[in-house]
Amino acid sequence: MTFAFRLIALMLLLAAPAGAQELQIGTGPICDTQKQTERLVALLDGGAETAIKVVNAEERDPTACVVATVAYLRGPQLAIARGKSGTYQIVKVLVVGLHTPNGVLATAPAAYFTILKVEEQDA
The number of domains in the chain is 1
Q: Is residue 108 part of a domain?
A: yes
- Residue 73 domain-assigned (yes or no): yes
- Number of continuous H segments (helices) and E segments (strands) in the chain: 3, 4
The whole domain housing 62 covers 3-8+23-116
Residue 21 above 80 pLDDT? no
Give the pLDDT confidence of 57-76 residue by residue, as tens digits.
999 999 999 999 999 999 99
Whether residue 18 lies inside any domain: the answer is no
The DSSP code sequence of 50-74 is HHHHHHHHHHT-TTSEEEEEEEEEE
| Residue 43, in any domain of the structure | yes
| Closest CA relative to residue 98, chosen from 116, 74, 75, 72 | 72
Q: Tell me the pLDDT band of 20, cut-offs 50, 70 and 90.
A: low
pLDDT digits (tens, 9 = 90+) for 86-107: 899 999 999 999 998 898 899 9
Please indicate, yes or no, if residue 14 is contained in any of the structural domains: no
Dihedral, 41, 38, 70, 64 alpha carbons, nearest 10: 110
Question: Which tens digits make up the pLDDT trace of 26-53?
Answer: 999 999 999 999 999 999 987 889 999 9
**Distance, CA of 105 to CA of 121 (rounded, Å):** 38
